Structure 1
Amino acid sequence: MKIVCVAVVALSLISGCCSAPLACEKLMKPIERIPDVSGRWYIIGLSTALCLPSTLINAVIWPSFTFDFASKGRPDIYISTTNVKMYGFCHNETSPLLIKGNSMIEVDENDAPTGDSLSLLQTGCPDCFVVTGNDLLHYLLIASRRKNITAAELDEFEMQAKCLSLSKPQYMNTDFDFEDCKSLDNTTDEEDTIILAKIHERVSSMSHLIIKCIIEAILYLVEKAGSVVWS
């Protein structure tokens, strides 16, 4: 009986060791072709190489994001509108995108690429897209046609971030009411004071996460510097 138990444990360990690399291999693979992206997508989570950028976005701004894609009438060219909401105030930006194969890239009025290409990766979420890019910093983002995704889908996204050696994902605000929303572009002094007060309140409640992330970032940079010195 003891021999059987040892064999079962050994097999389970081997299975676990094998399944993780296999899962990573799949999750790090770009999709073959982007499906129809027309319509609204809700930004669910964000992961960055160092935890500080994504943690500060969550702990200070605490935004809600959506992407609205509309065909421009030319093959693979879309108008992308990014809507951002923070503390009851909204802002939006529009830009043309080339969406083809498994990549997205901003283009100019002549449809010529103007920035870095973003790659879409495999995901088990049926109505999501996962995009990775290196625009200023390495990041991973998940968007869905639903305002919330399942726990299993969140777990898979966290695994995806881990496979890419990125930080634990931060999840965005889910207040997607952009109809009754004041513009962030022309706020009054009184409204600025209200926003700053809400930011202070948010940061105070999230300070432990910010401090933890700063410590992790310092340790990571020290470790990286040490490895360079010894190499």
Structure 2
Amino acid sequence: MMLFLILAFTFLSAGLSAPLTSDCDTLTQQVEIPSRDPLLGVWTFALESTDIPGSKLLLKMFVENVWGKVFPANESDSIFVFQVQKILGRCFSITSKLTLVNNTLHTEHPLSASEVLLRTSCSDCILLLSNTTLGESTYRTMQLLTRRPKLTSAEIDEFKRQAACLNLPPPAILTANKGFCPDSSASKDTETTDLTSVLSQANPEYMKILDKLLSSQSGIKMIVDSMRNQK
């Protein structure tokens, strides 16, 4: 499971939201990000497939929902992403800055990552494929974000086929019916814990340890036991 973020985008072209075939070249086709403007707004994280070991189990057990808000930075080619996750009834947020270079979004904090946009038949969704460095490893994650509260069965099946084409595991489905966390910018009395500084200033050795924990059954069990004790 990643406690980091990744963001959003709306297709402006009808061609980008055309029905897809079962052909992997089409299903995994990268599309152009014309500007930052279509990225702006509020998004719900609906589906995630990642090769981070243990991620799906941890998401299923502890993460209730995730939403994000994208807003412009001072530079015309950059954006800020504010992501909020509800974990065991508590709210945690992370803010990151991404820069668009050669059709790829890049960020260094709180983790080093690059993201591209893939084609999807969902007209009000975005499909992101990211490479994120954790410790000494680089992991791939594919996420489907939407402006709607619920996806169709066909859209979920399409995502599963796309994950299979990329040799990624079956996705975790994030529910959106347990009440979203508040926007910390909207209230001084928020119960949201901001993890941005904690992750950005984390000792690199800690990230290496976390990487090793996520890569072993005993490490995942240790994380699960620790999370259960937080209830």
TM-score in terms of structure 2 length: 0.62
With 145-154 and 163-172 compared, the bigger mean Cα shift is at 145-154
CA positional deviation for 1:99: 3.4
Task: Return the alpha-carbon distance in structure 2 between the equivalents of residues 50 and 94 of structure 1.
Answer: 21
Distance 2:164 2:130 in 1: 15
Question: What is the rounded CA distance, in whole Å, between the counterparts of 2:119 and 2:107 in structure 1?
Answer: 21
- 1:147-226 to 2 correspondence within 5 Å? 147-174=149-176, 175-179=178-182, 182-184=191-193, 196=228
Give the residue type in structure 1 aligned to 2:130.
G
The runs of 5 or more residues in structure 1 that have no matched partner are: 1-18, 109-113, 187-194, 200-231
Please identify which structure carries the higher strand content: 2
1:41 deviates by 0.8
Per-residue deviation, 1:107? 5.4
**Offset of 1:177 from its aligned partner?**
2.3
Cα displacement (A) at 1:134: 2.4
Measured against aligned partners, the alpha-carbon deviations of 1:2-29 in whole angstroms (never above 9, x if no partner) come to: xxxxxxxxxxxxxxxxx64xx2111211
Identity score, percent: 24
Which residue in the other structure is 1:11 paired with? none
Residue 34 of structure 1: how far off its partner (Å): 4.9
Once the two structures are superposed, the pairs formed by residues 19-98 of structure 1 within 5 Å of their partners are: 20=22, 23-34=23-34, 36-49=38-51, 52-59=54-61, 61-98=62-99
Write out per-residue CA displacement over residues 157-196 of structure 1, whole angstroms, 9 at most, x where no aligned residue: 111101111111010131342239733579xxxxxxxx83
TM, length-normalised to structure 1: 0.62
Q: Cα distance 1:56–1:90, how it changes in 2: closer, same or farther (>3 A)? A: same
State how far apart, in whole Å, the 1-side matches of 2:53 and 2:112 are.
Answer: 24
Greater than 4 Å deviation, 4+ residue runs: none
Post-superposition offset of 1:53: 1.8
Unaligned runs of 5+ in 2: 1-20, 133-137, 184-189, 196-226
Which residue does 1:222 correspond to in 2? Answer: none
For 1:148 and 1:182, the matched residues in 2 are separated by 26
Contact 2:93/2:192 (<8 A) preserved: no
Higher helix share: 1
Of the three residues 129, 143, 156, the one matched with 1:132 is 129
Q: Distance in 2 between matches of 1:100 and 1:128?
A: 22
Helix, strand or coil for the counterpart of 1:31?
coil
In structure 2, give the amino acid aligned to 1:151: S
* Mapped contact 1:46–1:141 kept (Cα < 8 A): yes
AA paired with 1:183?
T
Q: Which has the larger radius of gyration?
A: 1
CA-based RMSD: 2.8
Distance 1:150 1:68, change over 3 A: same
Deviation at 1:64?
A: 1.2
Among 116, 120, 123, the residue aligned to 2:120: 123
Q: 1:52 to 1:31 in 2, by over 3 A?
A: same
